[in-house]
Amino acid sequence: DAKTTQPPSMDCAEGRAANLPCNHSTISGNEYVYWYRQIHSQGPQYIIHGLKNNETNEMASLIITEDRKSSTLILPHATLRDTAVYYCIVHFGNEKLTFGTGTRLTIIP
C-alpha cells in the first residue's frame, strides 16, 4: 500500500507557482521523500528527493515539515509542459518504489 496521501487533482495558472502537497504521517526515520511526474504517455521522470532538509534543483523545490509528516513540491513558475501526474513516494535503500494514484496537475493558460 502507498504510504502517502495526495489530492487527486489540482489546477494552477501558467506562470504561477504550483504547490503540490503530500502527507506521509507514517514515514520512518530513514525513509526519503521522492517526487516523480508522468507526462501523458511517457515514463515517470524523477524530480527531486529529500530526507529532512529542504531541497532545490533546476526543476523544483521540496519543502519537508520539521516532523517530516508532510511535504510540498513547488514548481516556481509553472508552464503548460508541467501538466502531468505527480507522485510523492517514501522510499529507502533497495525497497521497491510504491506508486500511489498521485496528483493530476493541470496548468491553465
Partner 1 sequence: SAVISQKPSRDICQRGTSLTIQCQVDSQVTMMFWYRQQPGQSLTLIATANQGSEATYESGFVIDKFPISRPNLTFSTLTVSNMSPEDSSIYLCSVEKDGTGQETQYFGPGTRLLVL
Strand partners, 19: 74
Closest distance of CB 99 from partner 1, Å: 4
Burial class (CB in 10 A: 0-12, 13-18, 19+), 73: buried
Interaction site with partner 1 (CB under 8 A): 32, 34, 36, 41-46, 49, 51, 87, 91-94, 96-102
Closest distance of CB 75 from partner 1, Å: 19
> Which of 16/57 has CB closer to partner 1?
57
Q: In what order do the strands lie in the sheet with 18-23?
A: 18-23, 70-75, 61-64, 55-56
> Which of 80/97 has CB closer to partner 1?
97
Long-range contacts of 58-65 (CB under 8 A, 24+ apart): 60/35, 62/33, 62/35, 64/33
> Which of 29/41 has CB closer to partner 1?
41
Closest distance of CB 92 from partner 1, Å: 8
